[in-house]
Structure 1
Amino acid sequence: MTLDDLRFFVAVCKAGSFSAVAREVSCTQSAVSQHVKRLERELGLSLLERHPRGVVPTQAGHLLRVAVTDGLGSIDRALREIEALVRGDGGSVRITTGATTVRHFMADAVVDFRRTFPQVRLEFQTEHSSRGCFDALAAGGLDLAWITLGAPVRGIDQRPVVELPWVLAVRTESPLAAQPFIAPTDLEGTRLIGLPGNSTSRTHLDTWLRQSGIQPVFDTSVADWDTAILLAELGLGCAIVPALPGWHGPGHADLRLVPIPALPVLRTGWAVRRWDALSPLARTFADTVARHWAQRPTAAQAPSGSE
Structure 2
Amino acid sequence: MRHTPTVKQLRAFAAVYRSGKVATAAAELSLTQSAVSALVRQLEGKLGVALFDRTTRALHRTAAADHLIATAERLLGELDGLARDAQALEEHQAGKIRVAVTPAVAQSLMPRALARFQREQPQTRVQLEDCAPDQFVAAIVGERADFGIGVMESEHPELVSEVLLRDQLCLLCHAGHSLASGGKALRWKALAGQPLIVVRPGYGSRRAIERAAAVAGIELQIVHEVSLLATAVAMAREGLGAAIVPASMAAEARRGADLVARRLIAPTVSRDISVVSKKGHTLGAAARRFLALVA
AA of the residue aligned to 1:257? A
Matches within 5 A, 1:227-242: 227-242=231-246
* Aligned pair partner of 2:153 in 150, 154, 174: 150
| Alpha-carbon distance in structure 1 between the residues aligned to 2:232 and 2:142 | 30
- The 1:142–1:239 alpha-carbon spacing in structure 2 relative to 1, beyond 3 Å, is same
Query: Identity across aligned pairs (percent)?
Result: 20
Aligned counterpart for 2:275 among listed residues 270, 276, 298: 270
Partner of 1:246: 252
SS at match of 1:292: helix
For residues 123-272 of structure 1, the aligned pairs below 5 Å read 123-129=127-133, 131-180=134-183, 181-243=185-247, 244=249, 245-249=251-255, 251-253=256-258, 255-262=259-266, 263-272=268-277
CA distance in 2, matches of 1:248, 1:149: 26
Q: Secondary structure at the match of 1:271?
A: strand
CA distance in 2: counterparts of 1:258 and 1:247, whole angstroms:
13
With structure 1 as the length reference, what TM-score do the two structures score?
A: 0.59
* Residues 135 and 116 (structure 1), Cα distance of their counterparts in 2 relative to 1, 3 Å cut: same
Deviation at 1:293, TM superposition (A): 4.7
Matched residues, number = 203
Q: 1:165: how far off? A: 2.5
Q: 1:158 is paired with a residue of what secondary structure?
A: strand
Aligned partner of 2:289 in structure 1 is 288
Higher strand proportion (structure 1 or 2): 2
- Listed as ranges, the gaps of 5+ residues in structure 1 are 1-83, 295-307
AA matched with 1:224: L
Q: One-letter code of the match for 1:229? A: V
Indicate conservation of the 8 Å contact 1:229/1:239, yes or no: yes
| Residues 73-96 of structure 1 deviation map (CA, whole Å, 9 limit, x = unaligned) | xxxxxxxxxxx98xx972321111
Q: Which amino acid aligns with 2:246?
A: P
Q: Distance in 1 between matches of 2:224 and 2:239?
A: 12
CA contact (8 A) 2:103 2:229 kept: no
Unaligned 5+ segments in structure 2 are 1-87
* CA pair 210-235 structure 1, distance change in 2 beyond 3 A: same
Q: Distance in 1 between matches of 2:283 and 2:261?
A: 40
8 Å CA contact 2:117–2:293 kept in 1: the answer is: no
Whose radius of gyration is greater, 1 or 2?
Answer: 2
**SS of the residue 2:230 aligns to:** helix
Question: 2-side partners of 1:148 and 1:94: how far apart?
Answer: 18
| Cα deviation code 1:223-251 (max 9, x no counterpart) | 222221221110111111111321234x1
Once residues 178 and 171 of structure 2 are traced to their aligned partners in structure 1, the CA distance between those partners, rounded to angstroms, is: 12
Q: Report the 3-state secondary structure (helix = DSSP H, G, I; strand = E; otherwise coil) of the residue aligned with 2:156.
A: coil
TM-score, normalised by the number of residues in structure 2: 0.61
**In the alignment, residue 186 of structure 2 is paired with which amino acid?**
I
Deviations 1:169-217 (A, max 9, x none): 1122222112223212111232211213212311222222222222102
The answer for the alignment partner of 1:98 in structure 2 is 102
